[in-house]
Structure 1
Amino acid sequence: MAETITAADGPRLIGQLKEQGLLPDSCRCVYAAGSLVRGWGNATSDLDLYVVTDDPFVWEGEADFHPVSLEPDRVGVAVPQFGALRGDVEYWTTGQFDQLMAKISWEEYRSGRDTGATVSQIERDCLVKLQHAVALDGADWLAERRQQFADSAFGRTIAARSLDLADTFAEDALGQLGSGDPESALLTAKLAFGYAADALLAHHGEYGTTAKWRSKKYRAAAPTVLPFERYWEIETMRTYDPEDPGRWIEDVIGCVRRVSMEVEV
């Protein structure tokens, strides 16, 4: 188990950023996020840090960038060492955060546009990590953004998009099963179930961008419509019978349908 990062680590980490020339003279906020903040880290976990400035920060030395559908259209990334921990430091501007919040506003959601499709994976990761972020500097700025996020339509957007995909794959799985293709139906049913689980998590305020932390988030959310034990039974295919794949697939699709009835979109 790796160490858990808290606000008390702020002076040390801020100092190390400065020593490596990776902290601008003026910034709105520096915060830590990700698995090491939630206490889920391990020996190979990266330390995720976010540095927020009014203007784009350019540092000397090696740099990488993540493309985003914002203005500016890229986010700087540095990968320094913090003692034994490998860092992943992203540099965002306040303007980019303004644009992100506009994308997940209730106005956008109610417009009927597929707002989920306009938020890239990098942008979604940034938003999800806000929820449990810890300020190392600029706590007021972070608190304001976290409240904006909590008041946004992000959860409803993720739930709606995940449910739509779950329903689509569920129908496909039944069609494949009916046509005598149980192997394809099995794989498609697993996809449907994964999206249904993500929708249920979003309904309970736990947002996933990949399956990597789904079990952890599921335990934290503790939904009653599909308790963890039942979820894990399906996720691990514990009751799957190769001699009767149709029964398992139809059972999984039934769970997907129950989740669809539970989640509000």
Structure 2
Amino acid sequence: MNMFNPTIEVIVTQPSTPNPPNLAFDAVLQRFPSLAEADAVCMTGSIAAGWGNSYSDIDLFVFSDRELDLPVDETMETWPGEDATSGIRWVNWMGQYEESLVDLQVWPTDTLPKVLKPFLGDTEPEFGNPGLWIEDLIYRISIATPLKNPAFIENMKQLIANSSYNRALARYLKARIESRLTDVAGQLEAGDILGARMAALLAAEQVVDQSLLLAGDLCRARKWILRRLEQTPQCGITVDEYRSVVLDGKRPDESDRECAVRVARWAQSQLVRTEDAALTRR
């Protein structure tokens, strides 16, 4: 009988606390010389958003229509990406830069105009759901810090700001929230109280996401929802409110059923509050 017997080989020793990398473009070019040939380069992700820490990846977005010669060494791996809906392809590269991990993606220069085309016309689409990769791309461009060709990055940010993308995605979420709330009612009637609690929690999370989208926050990562609320008070929901109503769970002497109903009613009230903003079109 063959037994699974994995072994570990240390390729690169990581420091216990990495030193902050030099993110000046001239310094980045020493590790990635081919980026000099790119049309534009920006830093994005948690560091660009102001939420990073000493262990955060360095997220670099590169825009180029030519193939770039990225480093090949023992620290790196690379693989192609493709969005099935749009047919857009990009290159993923992950490896070491100084003492940090770099997540680098190379995108065609016409990527953003192509994916935003449905949201730039005089008639807004009812729903917008371009998929996780493209949603992540749009968000990361919206918060990007330019390293090369700031005008290119600024033009892309303006394209996002002038589009109906956030409203169309908010309407898509509205339909999902309504479905979750219907689930709560059905599960309560069927006696599935724990299922109703979970459906109410999901509805509450999605209604917060929708409120943030309508306030201009395009982040799609669930782990940042409290930081997003903290940074976007104009969305109408505070961190304390979301924590006390949703995250703190059952209140003293509250049953699972009562908790599910309370959270679902809160989500429903937020959905009503944002309805005009979600349904208003240009």
Which TM-score band (shorter chain)?
A: 0.7 to 0.9
Are 1:98 and 2:113 counterparts?
Answer: yes
- How far apart, CA to CA, are the structure 2 residues paired with 1:187 and 1:242? 19
Alignment-mate amino acid for residue 29 of structure 1: A
Alignment CA distance shift 1:136-1:126 (3 Å): same
Deviations 1:219-247 (A, max 9, x none): 11114643221111234234445851122
1:24: how far off?
4.8
Alignment CA distance shift 1:149-1:197 (3 Å): same
Alignment-mate amino acid for residue 248 of structure 2: M
Are 1:229 and 2:240 counterparts?
Answer: yes
1:70: how far off?
6.2
Q: Aligned residues, how many? A: 256
Choose the corresponding residue for 2:32, options 9, 17, 20.
Answer: 17
Query: Is the CA contact 2:177–2:207 (under 8 Å) kept in the aligned structure 1?
Result: yes
- How far apart, CA to CA, are the structure 2 residues paired with 1:124 and 1:174? 31
Query: Is the CA contact 1:4–1:37 (under 8 Å) kept in the aligned structure 2?
Result: no
- How far apart, CA to CA, are the structure 2 residues paired with 1:153 and 1:10? 33
Counterpart position of 1:214: 225
- How far apart, CA to CA, are the structure 2 residues paired with 1:218 and 1:190? 17
Choose the corresponding residue for 1:115, options 128, 150, 174.
Answer: 128
Alignment-mate amino acid for residue 92 of structure 2: V
SS state of the match for residue 43, structure 1? coil
Counterpart position of 1:261: 272
Are 1:173 and 2:184 counterparts?
Answer: yes
Query: Is the CA contact 2:80–2:90 (under 8 Å) kept in the aligned structure 1?
Result: yes
Choose the corresponding residue for 2:88, options 57, 64, 73.
Answer: 73
Query: Is the CA contact 1:225–1:262 (under 8 Å) kept in the aligned structure 2?
Result: no
| Higher Rg | 2
Choose the corresponding residue for 1:38, options 46, 49, 52.
Answer: 49
Query: Is the CA contact 1:56–1:92 (under 8 Å) kept in the aligned structure 2?
Result: no
SS state of the match for residue 28, structure 2? helix
The answer for unaligned runs of 5 or more in structure 1 is none
- How far apart, CA to CA, are the structure 2 residues paired with 1:38 and 1:4? 16
Query: Is the CA contact 1:29–1:51 (under 8 Å) kept in the aligned structure 2?
Result: yes
- RMSD over aligned CA atoms reads 2.5
1:72: how far off?
5.3
Alignment-mate amino acid for residue 13 of structure 1: V
- How far apart, CA to CA, are the structure 2 residues paired with 1:188 and 1:100? 31
- How far apart, CA to CA, are the structure 2 residues paired with 1:13 and 1:60? 12
Alignment-mate amino acid for residue 169 of structure 2: I
Alignment map for 1:85-164 (pairs within 5 Å): 85-107=100-122, 110-112=124-126, 114-116=127-129, 119-164=130-175
The answer for unaligned runs of 5 or more in structure 2 is 1-16
TM-score, normalised by the number of residues in structure 2? 0.82
- How far apart, CA to CA, are the structure 2 residues paired with 1:186 and 1:135? 44
Identical positions, percent: 18
Alignment CA distance shift 1:189-1:70 (3 Å): closer
Alignment CA distance shift 1:59-1:3 (3 Å): closer
Alignment-mate amino acid for residue 120 of structure 2: S
- How far apart, CA to CA, are the structure 2 residues paired with 1:139 and 1:15? 20
- How far apart, CA to CA, are the structure 1 residues paired with 2:101 and 2:81? 18
Alignment CA distance shift 1:3-1:240 (3 Å): farther
Query: Is the CA contact 1:173–1:184 (under 8 Å) kept in the aligned structure 2?
Result: yes
1:10: how far off?
2.2
* Between 70-79 and 43-52, the greater mean CA deviation after superposition: 70-79
- How far apart, CA to CA, are the structure 2 residues paired with 1:81 and 1:44? 12
Alignment CA distance shift 1:155-1:224 (3 Å): closer
- How far apart, CA to CA, are the structure 2 residues paired with 1:218 and 1:13? 33
